[in-house]
Amino acid sequence: MELFLTNTATRRKELFTPLKAADVRMYVCGPTVYDRAHLGNARPVIVFDVLYRLLRHIYGADHVTYVRNFTDVDDKINARAADSGRSIGAITAETTQWFLDDMGAVGAMEPDHMPRATQYIPQMVAMISDLIDKGHAYAKDGHVLFRVRSYQDYGKLSGRSVDDMIAGARVEVAPFKEDPMDFVLWKPSDAAQPGWDSPWGRGRPGWHIECSAMAHELLGESFDIHGGGNDLMFPHHENEIAQSCCAHPGGGFAQVWLHNEMLQVEGKKMSKSLGNFFTVRDLLDQGVPGEVIRFVMLSTHYRKPMDWTEKKRDEAMATLQKWYTQVGSGPAAAADPDPGVVGCLADDLNTAGAIAGLHQLSLTGQAAALRASLQFLGLMGETVPDWALAPQVDLSDWVARLSAARQSALQSKDFSEVDRLKALLTGAGVEVRMSKAGVDLVPGSGFDAARLETGA
């Protein structure tokens, strides 16, 4: 199967050709673990989880390596520790597990490697020393900085020149910088901050060097795919490329760059000031199933802004309930995912097209293929979840009433009683299906028998 991906570096949708088909490698920038993951944090996790599943399907599970890091040394973490009085280690251990639990709830598989930055400090120190030796970095006042102008392709990923970046952005000016655009590889730590011994004194790494060192250690000088949100394109990914290509000029670092767009809530940027900021855990605790969160995310192509709305959430829950009822609660079907669904994903992760394919499978009654395709997209586990199971109720009397009313209406041409009964059933959470074969009533998980009794 051919796989096409839109490469940010070339700005084109291209045929993906791995460096080694038997060893496909992908790196995705992970979270800084100091608090709960907000809804926007879940989008890249879900996007690249789908890509991971697709790569495993095409090349074989044993031939794909997925790395997603945890940044567990950062000034935000230090501030949280100072404010709470808790240790940095306790905070990062707790928030790392929170992240894994919440992402598991939205159907994300765990990557093959999940390196913590603090586990790779020696590799970072070695890379920084190498960059100094090659003239791409310099030490001053306990800091080590990367010489941006020593890498002539700097800005190529984001499409900006160094001079334009300086003119259009607030750049930290510091006495230890040779150039305003130079960025920190290592910085000194005081007694209250986490720190490690280095040739430049006790200190800690800058943010950007982490991913370069961990990607090199786990995936090598050249690997296939690097992903993340488009907010990371500059400066983080730009700086990663510069560091890695200068440290390992014989390698090409990432061959393909993928960036997902950002998330909005009801058409507006999510922010605490607007009161529309919430975490994945907030939604889960409110009773929104993880599969519903995932479904809404996948309904929009990864390169388009994703708008989370209550309407989309409710529609997603209703759709999944219908599909889960259709495929039943028996053992997993021994069917492969539908080729049409997989084909949509192979076309630059067209998840919206894949969901349209699921609708078609449902309409045509292909329950086994629907179940396998839902599982392939991470929208269903081995069994139907309890929240989606239709309640076991006897609606045979209502089937008889609606059938009789329908038969009478066909003769009198007055469908007012049919419409009244349908509205009553629908209002009580019952899906009404009428065809030439007869009447079928399917209660949803929100079925309310009391409403039927009231309107009887």
Q: What is the CATH number of the domain that holds 30?
A: 3.40.50.620
Mean pLDDT lowest for which of 76-85, 177-186, 435-444? 435-444
Statement to judge: residues 171 and 41 lie in one domain: yes
Statement to judge: residues 158 and 286 lie in one domain: no
pLDDT at 253: 97
pLDDT at 162: 80
Structural domain ending residue among the three candidates 225, 260, 295: 260
Residues 6+ apart with CB under 8 A from 74: 32, 34, 207
Residue by residue, DSSP assigns 365-390 as T-HHHHHHHHHHTTS--SS--GGGSP
pLDDT at 62: 98
Looking at the predicted structure, is the pLDDT value of residue 308 above 80? yes
Statement to judge: residues 204 and 346 lie in one domain: no
Statement to judge: residues 103 and 135 lie in one domain: yes
pLDDT tier for residue 166 given thresholds of 50, 70 and 90 = low
pLDDT > 90 fraction of the chain, expressed in percent and rounded: 80
Q: How far is CA 194 from the centre of its chain?
A: 30
**Rounded mean pLDDT, 174-179:** 89
Instruction: Provide the mean pLDDT of the chain.
Output: 92
pLDDT tier for residue 129 given thresholds of 50, 70 and 90 = very high
Exposure of 79 in the CB half-sphere (CA atoms within 13 A): 6
**Rounded mean pLDDT, 8-31:** 98
pLDDT at 394: 85
**Rounded mean pLDDT, 333-353:** 92
pLDDT at 332: 54
Q: Which amino acid is residue 14, in one-letter code?
A: E
Residue by residue, DSSP assigns 440-451 as EEEE-TT--HHH
**Rounded mean pLDDT, 141-150:** 96
Looking at the predicted structure, is the pLDDT value of residue 146 above 70? yes
Statement to judge: residues 203 and 127 lie in one domain: yes
Statement to judge: residues 116 and 227 lie in one domain: yes
Coil/strand/helix, residue 61: helix
Contact 183, 239 (CB under 8 A): yes
Structural domain ending residue among the three candidates 201, 228, 260: 260
**Pick the residue with more confidence: 228 or 273?**
228
**Pick the residue with more confidence: 429 or 28?**
28
**Pick the residue with more confidence: 168 or 376?**
376
Q: How many structural domains does the chain have?
A: 3
Structural domain ending residue among the three candidates 361, 388, 415: 388
Looking at the predicted structure, is the pLDDT value of residue 170 above 60? no
Looking at the predicted structure, is the pLDDT value of residue 169 above 60? no
**Measured distance CA(57)–CA(37) in Å, rounded:** 28
Statement to judge: residues 234 and 288 lie in one domain: no
Radius of gyration for the alpha carbons in the chain, expressed in angstroms and rounded:
27
Looking at the predicted structure, is the pLDDT value of residue 315 above 60? yes
**Measured distance CA(44)–CA(73) in Å, rounded:** 21
**Measured distance CA(211)–CA(140) in Å, rounded:** 23
pLDDT at 333: 57
Q: Which amino acid is residue 120, in one-letter code?
A: Y
**Measured distance CA(241)–CA(224) in Å, rounded:** 14
pTM, to two decimals: 0.86
CA distances (Å), origin 92, targets 40, 76, 329, 452: 20, 11, 38, 51
**Measured distance CA(172)–CA(160) in Å, rounded:** 18
Taking phi first (over 0 means left), then psi (-120 to 50 degrees means alpha), and beta for anything else, what does residue 142 get? left
Statement to judge: residues 127 and 250 lie in one domain: yes
**Measured distance CA(403)–CA(390) in Å, rounded:** 22
Q: What are 145's strand-pairing partners?
A: 138, 184
Looking at the predicted structure, is the pLDDT value of residue 52 above 70? yes
pLDDT tier for residue 436 given thresholds of 50, 70 and 90 = confident
pLDDT tier for residue 414 given thresholds of 50, 70 and 90 = very high
Statement to judge: residues 157 and 288 lie in one domain: no
> Which tens digit of pLDDT belongs to each residue from 59-117?
999 999 999 999 999 999 999 998 999 999 999 999 999 999 999 999 999 999 999 99
Looking at the predicted structure, is the pLDDT value of residue 335 above 80? no
**Pick the residue with more confidence: 263 or 431?**
263
Statement to judge: residues 218 and 118 lie in one domain: yes
Give the pairing of strands 64-68 and 137-140.
unpaired
Taking alpha carbons only, the member of 166, 210, 202, 161 closest to residue 184 is 210
**Rounded mean pLDDT, 198-212:** 96
Residues 6+ apart with CB under 8 A from 371: 327, 332, 333, 335, 380
Taking alpha carbons only, the member of 226, 303, 307 closest to residue 261 is 303
Looking at the predicted structure, is the pLDDT value of residue 331 above 80? no
Task: Work out whether the CA dihedral 338, 343, 349, 355 comes out positive or negative.
Answer: negative
Statement to judge: residues 310 and 365 lie in one domain: yes
Statement to judge: residues 46 and 80 lie in one domain: yes
Task: Work out whether the CA dihedral 37, 39, 41, 44 comes out positive or negative.
Answer: positive
| DSSP assignment letter at 100 | H
Looking at the predicted structure, is the pLDDT value of residue 8 above 80? yes
**Rounded mean pLDDT, 414-443:** 89
pLDDT tier for residue 273 given thresholds of 50, 70 and 90 = confident
Q: What are 138's strand-pairing partners?
A: 145
* Structural domain of 49: 4-260
pLDDT > 70 fraction of the chain, expressed in percent and rounded: 95
